[in-house]
Amino acid sequence: MSKHIPTIVLGSTGYVAAEIIGLLLNHPSFRIEAAISTSQAGNRIDEIFPHLIGPAGDLTFKSLDQISNLLASKRQTAIFSALPHGETAAFIQNLLQQSKTNAQIVDVSADFRYRTSDEYEAVYGKPHPAPELLSSFTCALPDITPSTPDTHIAHPGCFTTCVTLPLAGLFACDLIEPHVNVSAVTGSTGAGRQPGAGTHHPHRQSSMWAYQPLNHRHKPEMENLVAPWEPNAQVTFVPHSGPFARGIHATIFATLKSNSDSEAVIAQLQKFFEPSPFIRVGSKMPELKSIVGSNRCQIGIAVQGRQLVTTGIIDNLVKGAAGGAVQWMNRLFSLEETEGLLNATPGWI
């Protein structure tokens, strides 16, 4: 018999929150008790997200004070936080102080991705709003973290996810030198739901550009996450904005420690990722459309002597955020890691 775990989604009107809600509506174990939005409280979810007409039923957005009884209960609760960067920490601190609920939290913002307030301030240029909570969160990717932490979870960023997954395998197998170069392209949904010049269709369509080269905030996340296998990792990272809505395509250029070939590298990576149900490794360079809407990461490998090129692709909203968050929450509640994440996805978009 499936569990019915009461579930709350915070910051429920952004793109990632919409993906979380969509996944939860089709999940056999998590039941949405409240989708919190201060700006849309009282409005139907399917009015804001018409693609959820039907599955969302008559669910409405709620304000925080409407769920006080749930938060004050002794029941174990799943909380997905999709609040904006910089706002999450103070909100969750207040939530935990007011609530007696036995909650498991998975946060997709950047507020808890660093172990210390100094690291956070070095990246974001301002003090952390709730440094005493940092030790209560673990920043990790479920696919390369065999043991489930006994803390809340901070899901890494979308670029971080796409780049770190192949890098972790390459470093864990002791295949490559510490310095790698990465070029990655993301779709417009990576900039969030709030319209801006960089996401305006006439500007973005049929165009592409690099931004924050060598200085993107996800670079230190990548280096931190691969540190267990390569503490001296140095990632030279150049992100790009692409003329599509969803997905990330990352190309990694690395130097092998010794001459090899594609078959040998692929075999080692396939063995490393064997326990990971959402990772696929092969010689074919993956196509972005093949993973849009899914929780998969596909990795392609090409080798010439000591030169290695790896391509990794993910859906930035699913594997890079909402799907990874559900994957983590499954584990926190001792469910099958794949539960609610194996639905068929569109083949043509």
Which are the catalytic amino acids?
158
DSSP character for 176? B
Is the four-CA dihedral 314, 211, 194, 201 of positive or negative sign? negative
Quick count: other Cβ atoms within 10 Å of Cβ 196?
10
Which two tokens mark 35? 């989708």
Contact between 30 and 101 (Cβ < 8 Å):
no
Q: Which residues of 138-157 are buried (b: 16+ CB within 10 A; e: fewer)?
A: bbbbbbbbeebeebbbbbbb
Q: In terms of DSSP bridges, do strands 76-81 and 61-62 run parallel, antiparallel, or are they unpaired? A: unpaired
With a CB cutoff of 8 Å and minimum separation 6, the contacts of 274 are: none
Burial class (CB in 10 A: 0-12, 13-18, 19+), 182: buried
